[in-house]
Every structure is written in C-alpha cells, then in structure tokens.
Amino acid sequence: MGYGKLPSGKEVSLVNLMKFCYDLSETDIEIYFKLLKSGARTIDDLSREMNLSKATISRSLNKLLGLGFIERERLASSTGIGRPKYLYKADEKKFSEKLVKDIEECSRLVRQFAENVIESIVKEGKPEIA
C-alpha cells in the first residue's frame, strides 16, 4: 500500500488515514480490504477465512455498514427458519469516492480545530483543551 509524506517527513499510509478519520481498528480495516479483494462474503465466510469470532466480524461489519463503506444483501433462506443471513460486499469505486470526500472533510475539520487553538493561544495565552 502506498505512503505519503507529511510536512514533518513522517510517512502516512491509507490505513493510518482510515484509523484517524473513521476511528477504525486494524480488524475493521482488515475485514474491509478482505471484502474489497475477495468479493462478497457472509459472516461465516469471514470468520472461517480470517480465524476470528463471528462476534468480532459482526461488530466490524456493523461499524463499516454505519460508515457507508459496505452494503449488505439478505440471502434467501431455504427453510425460512432462524436468523436471516446476509452477504456483505464492498465497492471499490464507491470506496474511492467516499474516501476522497471524507478525507477532505476530515482535513477541513482538523484545520478548523488548529485555527481555533491558535486563536485561543493568541487571545488567552493558552491552548483550548477539548
């Protein structure tokens, strides 16, 4: 995966950006990229392939769904009994568009925060904490 350089010279990766802007864990990101690379999967598929519990997979998928990174499709049940099963999928084009838009917004918010802190230092001689 590619890296970019910050003004400090520190390298930053896409994973670092996703962690910062979306508060994603390593597991969330690993699951997301698994869906991007391997196509649609069920919780059972992901649990088996990644050797993670279904609960861990489910938490990550729900977070990714809430952020709009993935979609889910209800699978038709052959028996109609029990909990519904879902197929989870990620779309590379939607990811790219969403990521660029959201990183721009994240950058705007960080800039606004920095401006407020600088203003607080100039006015009161101390940074605003929070």
Cβ neighbors of 33 (< 8 A, separation 6 or more) are: none
Task: Write down all domains in the chain, each with its CATH number in brackets.
Answer: 3-90 (1.10.10.10), 91-130 (no CATH)
Average predicted confidence (pLDDT) for the chain: 87
| pLDDT tens digits, one per residue of 105-124 | 988 998 999 898 888 888 77
How many whole angstroms separate alpha carbon 119 and alpha carbon 107?
18
Q: Rounded to two decimals, what is the model's pTM?
A: 0.78
